[in-house]
Structure 1
Amino acid sequence: MNESKIKRDPEGTRRRILAAAAEEFANGGLSGARVDQIARRALTNERMLYYYFGSKEQLFTAVLEQSFSCLSEAERQLDLEGLEPVEAITQLAHFIWNYYFEHQDLLRLLNNENLHEARYIKSSARINEMMSPVTSVLASILMRGAEAGVFRADVDPLRFYVTLSALGYYVLSNRYTLAAILGRDFTEPEERVEVLKLSTEMVLCYLRSKPEGS
C-alpha cells in the first residue's frame, strides 16, 4: 500500500497497526515484538507507526486500552438485571469464561503486563476510567439475592468478581502447562463444558452457603 493511500485513510491505517500490534504483543510480549514486523503486518512502514503512536511502549499501551475497551463494551451488552439472581450469576460466569476463551490474546497481554508490574496500565488514564462496568451490576444482583434469601449477605462484589474471573483465567492462561503436566487439555470442547459447570456450581455453592456464626 503506497503512502498516499495511507494518508487518505488515517483511521484505517491506525486500526491496522493496532490489530497487527495486538497479535505481535500477544505472541512475543513488549520485549519480543518487533516494530518492523508490526508495520509489515499492517501494510505500512515504521515511520507511520511512530507518527500515530509515538513509540513502541505507547503502542503497547494503546493495545491494552483497546483490549480493555472491548471487554468493557461486551460487559455493557450483558442484560442481567431482569434475571433471577441465580440465573444472573450463572450467565455472568458463562460470559466470563467464554469471553476469555474467545480472546486469549487478552490473557497473554495481561500476563506480559504483569511482568512489567502494570507499568503501562498505570500510565493510562483511559484504562483507569474503564473500571469493569459489570461490578456495579453484580453488586445489585448480589443484593437482590440476599434480600430474596437465596444468597448470603456478606459478599464483597469486587472480591467475588475477581475470584469468578480467576477460575477461567487460570485454566486458560495455563492451558499448555496443565496439558503437559496433567495430560489433559481443559480447552477441549467436552472439558470446557465440565470445567465451566464445575466453576459455576462452586461459586453458586459459596453464595448459597451461610457464613459461620450466622
Structure 2
Amino acid sequence: MTTETVRRRDSERTKANIVAVATKEFANKGYAGARVDEIAAKTHTTKRMIYYYYGDKDGLYQAVLETSYGKIRRLEQRVSHIEDDPVTAIRQLAEITFDHHDRNPDFIRIVAGENILKGAHIKNSAAVQELGSPAVDILGRILEVGRDRGLFRTDVDALDVHLAISSYCFFRVANRYTFKTLFGRDLTAADQRPGQRKMLGDMIVAFLTDLGTELVDLTEAPDIDGADIPPTAT
C-alpha cells in the first residue's frame, strides 16, 4: 500500500467522522444552533480542516443531507422479488423504510429541520435532488410489474405510494413524544414495533390490490368552512 493510498484512506475516514458528528449536531440543534467549532472539537480536527473539505457550514450541512438521503436510497436497492413477486417486493420496500426510519431518528430530525427552513439548503444541492429518482424508479418498476399481472390498481403512481410509506414511517418517529403525551402510547417502544411494521405492509398491499375502488378526485375540494359539504344523516 502506497503512502498516497494511506493518506487518501485517512482522509476519507476523517470526512466520514466529520459528517457523522455533524449529523448529530444538526439533528439535535438545527442548522442555526450547530457550531462548526464544536464539530471540530468532537472530531479532533479543526475548523480550518472542515472548511477545507466542505467550504463552509452550508457545504458541511449539504454533505450531511447527501449522506443521510444516500443511505436510505442504497437500502431501497436491496429490494428483491420485483420481477417474480411484486406484492412481496412492495411489502419489503415498506419494511426497509420502516426499519431505516426507526433506527435513524437523526434522519427524521434533519428532514424536519430542513422543512422548517422551507428546503433552503436541499434545493441548492443537485446531488440530493438526484437522490429522488432512485426511489421513484424502484417503486415504479414494482408497480409496473404488479399492474402487468393484474395485481395492482392502475390509478396510483410511484409518488402516491412513496408518500403513503414515508408518511407512516416518519410520523411514528417524529411525533413519538406528543403522541405518547396525548394517548399514552410510545410509538417507538420495542413492543409496538413488530405490529406497526406489519400494519404498514398490510396497508400498502391492501391499498394497491384493492382493484374495485378509485382515488377520490380532490381537484374541486369543498370549501374549508364546510359550506359545500352536504349534510349527513344523524
TM score, norm. by length of structure 2: 0.82
Q: What is the number of equivalent residue pairs in this alignment? A: 208
Runs of 4+ in 1 over 6 A off after TM superposition: none
Letter in 1 for 2:114: E
Map Cα deviations across residues 158-212 of structure 1 (whole Å, 9 max, x no partner): 1211211111111111111111221111111221111222222222221122225
Contact 1:178 1:184 in 2 (8 A): yes
Match of 1:211 among 207, 210, 213: 213
Q: Could you say which residue in structure 1 is the equivalent of 2:221? A: none
Letter in 1 for 2:213: P
Structure 1: which 5+ residue stretches go unaligned?
Answer: 1-5
Contact 2:26 2:110 in 1 (8 A): yes
Distance 1:203 1:191, change over 3 A: same
Tell me how far apart the structure 2 counterparts of residues 196 and 8 of structure 1 sit (CA, whole Å).
38
Contact 1:113 1:120 in 2 (8 A): yes
Structure of larger gyration radius: 2
Map Cα deviations across residues 66-106 of structure 1 (whole Å, 9 max, x no partner): 11122222222322424412211111111110011111111
Secondary structure of the corresponding residue to residue 118 of structure 2: coil
Q: Could you say which residue in structure 1 is the equivalent of 2:141? A: 140
Map Cα deviations across residues 120-154 of structure 1 (whole Å, 9 max, x no partner): 11001111222241322222222222232222121
TM score, norm. by length of structure 1: 0.89
Q: Map 1:94-109 onto structure 2 (within 5 A).
A: 94-109=95-110
How far did 1:118 drift?
0.7
Contact 1:36 1:46 in 2 (8 A): yes
- Corresponding position: 1:48 with 2:36: no
Structure 2: which 5+ residue stretches go unaligned?
Answer: 1-6, 216-234
Secondary structure of the corresponding residue to residue 79 of structure 1: coil
Higher helix share goes to which structure?
1
Tell me how far apart the structure 2 counterparts of residues 140 and 174 of structure 1 sit (CA, whole Å).
31
Deviates more, 1:71-80 or 1:118-127: 71-80
CA-atom RMSD in angstroms = 2.1
Secondary structure of the corresponding residue to residue 110 of structure 2: helix
Contact 2:91 2:204 in 1 (8 A): no
